[in-house]
Amino acid sequence: MVFVLTALINMRGVLAAMKKKSNLTGLVLLAATVLTVNPAPSQVTLGPLTANQITNQMFGRMFTGEYPSGAGWSEHFKSNLTSTYSESGAKLDGVMRFEGDALCFSYPQSNKWFGGCFQVWKRGNNCFDFYSVQSNVSLFDRRFGRAWQARAWRTDAVATCFSAKVG
């Protein structure tokens, strides 16, 4: 529904521009609008996953991921609410908990602050974006899969994330 409304709003502006310019220019503007503003619906969710959805889709599985910087990581989300996190050859044992629908991580053996609570948004069959609950990323950016703090995919299936580390 959001995509249809966004497309209609964008199209209205493009159609107004088409009246002022040649048909070819209008078609180019229309194509650019559709391709850049409206990502494929399978890549966007309208809201974060619930605690039950996170538990069912993520626990008991191994994930590989990246941060916006491109740094890679992996983590085994165990069914008993513990995890094993790996990055750059270092491993940390973690503890997970839920605060409402936010998934929270802590790593007691770490000597620096590490972890936090995150909303998880599913971006396709095998792509999950993590947004810190302390982040000021807008709902619009979250809905369109932008400005995430971490992105991950299960290692047991083909990744569907758009990423430097995938395909």
Domain limits, the chain: 2-38, 51-154
pLDDT at 162: 76
pTM of the predicted model as reported, rounded to 2 decimal places: 0.71
Mean per-residue pLDDT, 29-51: 55
Q: What is the mean pLDDT of the chain?
A: 78
Of 80 and 144, the structure prediction assigns the larger pLDDT to 80
Model pLDDT, residue 14: 38
Res 37: pLDDT: 40
pLDDT at 167 over 80: no
Residue-level pLDDT at 148:
95
At residue 44, the pLDDT reads 53
- The CATH number of domain 51-154, selected from 2.40.70.10, 1.10.760.10, 3.40.50.1970, 2.40.128.640: 2.40.128.640
Between CA 152 and CA 76 the distance in angstroms is: 11
Beta carbons of 51 and 101 less than 8 angstroms apart: yes
Q: In this predicted structure, what is the pLDDT of residue 165?
A: 54
Q: Over the range 131-158, which residues count as b (16 or more CB within 10 Å of their CB) and which as e? A: beeebeeeeeebbbbeebbbbbbbeeee
Structure tokens at 42: 């399978």
